[in-house]
Amino acid sequence: MAEELIRRTAAELAGALTRREVSSVEVTRAHLDRIAAVDGTRDADGVATGPGVHAFLHVSAESALAEAAFVDAARAAGETLPPLAGVPIAVKDVMTTRGVPTTCGSRILTGWVPPYDATVVRKLKESRLVLLGKTNMDEFAMGSSTEHSAYGPTRNPWDPTRIPGGSGGGSAAALAAFEAPLATGTDTGGSIRQPASVTGTVGVKPTYGAVSRYGLVALASSLDQAGPCARTVLDTALLHAVMAGHDPRDSTSLSDPVPDVVAAATTMDVSGMRIGVVRELHGDAENGSGYQAGVLRRFDEAVEALVDAGAKVVEVSCPSFTTALAAYYLILPSEASSNLAKFDAMRYGLRVRPEGVSDPTAEQVMAASRAAGFGDEVKRRIILGAYALSSGYYDAYYGSAQKVRTLVQRDFAAAFAEADVLVSPTSPTTAFPLGAKLDDPLSMYLQDVATIPANLAGVPGMSLPAGLADEDGLPVGVQILAPARADDRLYRVGAVLEAALRGRWGGPLLDRIPEFPPLGG
């Protein structure tokens, strides 16, 4: 029973809960047992030890079971409950959770227990979802492998020697390992879509402003967007509907109504839709574009599947996308260096006294705390950002990057005049081995080459499974992009593609995941 429960989709669980075939306590317990069986252990400092997925930094077993019992009681009393009431969910550790530790994968926030909930978390609670715990991530969401977490990496359930993507590798791995049916993520340059791509799951970055940023620990405020992660397109839509909506606490929050993403995910019709293949995001295996041959093969098949379903394919060109990555790695560090200035050891978080100083000044305490509390990647970006914003360099670097950002927006506008949605591989490669890119930040940054343009322009994007690459048997993701505020198109096209590809594979891609444990040492 428990094994069967953890394999169900959120939509299936919601149906069974509503019909009272199963209780939320049973569903929650099944997932907590799965976490206990496969997630592995952590030492007293919270650092991952031994084998295991290590998707979770914190598991709230007691409060999860209490909330589940509450939902069951309400249902038994005949209360009408929201659609996902009683379904468990994992929350990325970048979202503040009242009374539950929130570290953003950083030492500097060790032991911090927020006094308030992020708006997204509040909405999950109001919709009566059951919060299982907080998921691992690259420190302050900087990275594409979850290896920059101060608490040790998460492993990819498809192959425990490989990365689960980043920064939201914990959420994606929790889904792929059947530790949770739903999870949240944030995507500043690809942190929802790339982990989905390399774990064979589904992830959506909504339109900028569609989901409140209140209570998300900011990385780059003009790029950050929270979104849903799940194993199916429909489940992602159901969670999107819960997370999105106007929030007066976020000044960039959109005020228009949330598009009906759930209806779009069940329309199952793409006839006549124009699908734009972005030339600059397709690569060319022969000219060393960095796109793995097996990734391009699965992507091309996905496009064919859409044609078979009645869509029309057009090729579009977005020349600025080739410089988008460089612009992003100036804009992001600039904003991050400013956002992370608040971690000064004065009000909350880690405080370290400098060694050998008997009566340290506030500045000395700040310096010692930041030196000890931040990891190498965070320091690298703070330095890069401070440099890019310094007088004399501001116009040359930050100013030029903002101009590229405008060009990216124009290219999207032109492309969306010719196509209803755009498609590309999500990530140029499948999951790489742990450690492979740690000494080479630039090669790590290149993971985001196809996802970053959407963040620079604020348009929504989805990644869904396209199959397994022939050369390594690992998941490949296909990305769908839509115009701002047309998030429903992602779901309409994604649901048709998912159904067509499952028909070819004979079932969900995750049915092919090698059984575990064991999960590597």
Output the CA angle 191-431-47, nearest 5 degrees: 70
For residue 339, the surrounding DSSP H or E stretch is: helix 321-339
Phi, psi of 124 (to 5 degrees): -60, -45
Q: Report the C-alpha gap between 96 and 215 in whole angstroms.
A: 5
Q: How far is the CB of 222 from ligand GLN (least distance, A)?
A: 13
Structure tokens at 228: 């849903």
Tally of CB atoms within 10 A around 271: 9
Structure tokens at 261: 């993403």
332 HSE (CA, 13 A, CB side): 27
Q: Which is nearer to ligand GLN, 28 or 455 (CB)?
A: 455
Q: Which is nearer to ligand GLN, 16 or 452 (CB)?
A: 452
Q: How far is the CB of 15 from ligand GLN (least distance, A)?
A: 33
Q: How far is the CB of 219 from ligand GLN (least distance, A)?
A: 5
Binding interface with ligand GLN (CB under 6 A): 141-144, 166-167, 187-191, 219, 332, 448
Q: How far is the CB of 159 from ligand GLN (least distance, A)?
A: 20
Q: Report the C-alpha gap between 367 and 206 in whole angstroms.
A: 37
- Transcribe 244-302 into DSSP letters: BS--TTSTT---SPPP-HHHHTTT---TT-EEEEEGGGT--GGGT-S--HHHHHHHHHH
Q: Which is nearer to ligand GLN, 40 or 143 (CB)?
A: 143
CB 129 within 8 A of CB 89: yes
Q: Report the C-alpha gap between 29 and 487 in whole angstroms.
A: 34
Look at strands 202-205 and 88-92 and give their pairing: unpaired
Output the CA angle 162-163-167, nearest 5 degrees: 175
CA 186 to chain centroid, in Å, comes to 5
Q: Report the C-alpha gap between 327 and 404 in whole angstroms.
A: 6
Q: Which is nearer to ligand GLN, 174 or 316 (CB)?
A: 174
Q: Which residue is nearest to ligand GLN (CB)?
A: 191
CB 208 within 8 A of CB 252: yes
Contacts with 474 (C-beta within 8 Å, 6 or more apart), sequence order: 158, 159, 162, 198, 430, 431, 468
Tally of CB atoms within 10 A around 116: 13
Q: How far is the CB of 250 from ligand GLN (least distance, A)?
A: 17
Q: Which is nearer to ligand GLN, 97 or 144 (CB)?
A: 144
Q: Report the C-alpha gap between 28 and 141 in whole angstroms.
A: 28
Q: Report the C-alpha gap between 124 and 121 in whole angstroms.
A: 5
Q: Which is nearer to ligand GLN, 291 or 328 (CB)?
A: 328
Q: How far is the CB of 402 from ligand GLN (least distance, A)?
A: 17
Q: How far is the CB of 91 from ligand GLN (least distance, A)?
A: 15
Nearest CA among 192, 178, 283, 120 for reference residue 490: 192
Q: Which is nearer to ligand GLN, 187 or 420 (CB)?
A: 187
Q: How far is the CB of 138 from ligand GLN (least distance, A)?
A: 7
Active site residues: 92, 167, 191
Q: Which is nearer to ligand GLN, 160 or 195 (CB)?
A: 195
Q: Report the C-alpha gap between 100 and 363 in whole angstroms.
A: 30
CB burial of 139-152 (b: ≥16 within 10 Å; e: otherwise) equals bbbbbbbbbbbbbb
